[in-house]
Amino acid sequence: MNPDVLAFGLVWYVVFLLSLTCHEAAHAWVAKLGGDPTAYEGGQVTLNPIPHIRREPFGTILAPLITFVASGWMMGWASAPYDPYWRQRHPRRAAWMALAGPAANFLLAVAAAIGIRIGLAVGVFAMPQTLRFSQMAQAATPGAAEGAAVFLSILFSLNVMLGSFNLLPLPPLDGHTGVGLLLSDKAANRFAALTSGSMLSLIGIVVAWRVFDEISGYVFRIALTLLYW
């Protein structure tokens, strides 16, 4: 790899780790607010990535680096522990906990969009002729603005995609637990019991990838419309 690719990969990884950390910290924080201190006691209510890396070292280090080398795209995962009995007693609180992760991703996307719009307003950034995942804006002049443009572009794009993907109501994604907000406590627990299990989670991930592959283009177009209205 040449220095430019290494620098690009480093920016990618910083954004990726920041996004996962905020996602899981949001889960842990809302669970604590809802009466489940499991993740809090495990040190997950933090924006320090170290506790999250320790819990899922393969998903936070090896998987993203391997997928980036193989495809130029980072994939991985992290997790925050919770008390399953708390979820059974308070399915609506568990639903809010689940939806807090995607909400954190959308907040990061909004922050990135604000940064891009400010850069455009002051002349640091310019709108590129071709919009890409890592090129939502381009630097108007060489230098630090180039790195900032790439950072904010990936931060915007990645978090739009992470938030949207995790909202799909399929196990084991956050949207699956979030469905509990639309159901009674009894129905939410029954739904969770009927759709739990490692095999269903595996099937859910496969189906979610197929579904998201079909809708991701529309999601991205909506995000671009909001960014460059």
**Residue with structure tokens 């220095």?**
3
The answer to whether the CB of 223 falls within 8 A of the CB of 156 is yes
Full-prediction pTM beyond 0.85?
yes
Marked catalytic residue, from 24, 41, 56, 146: 24
Q: Is 56 tagged catalytic?
A: no
Please answer whether residues 107 and 101 qualify as being in contact, where contact means their C-beta atoms are separated by less than 8 angstroms.
no
pLDDT tens by residue, the chain, 229 residues: 688 889 999 999 999 999 999 999 999 999 999 999 999 999 999 999 999 999 999 999 999 999 999 988 899 999 999 999 999 999 999 999 999 999 999 999 999 999 999 999 999 999 999 999 999 999 998 889 999 999 999 999 999 999 999 999 999 999 999 999 999 999 999 999 998 888 999 999 999 999 999 999 999 999 999 999 8
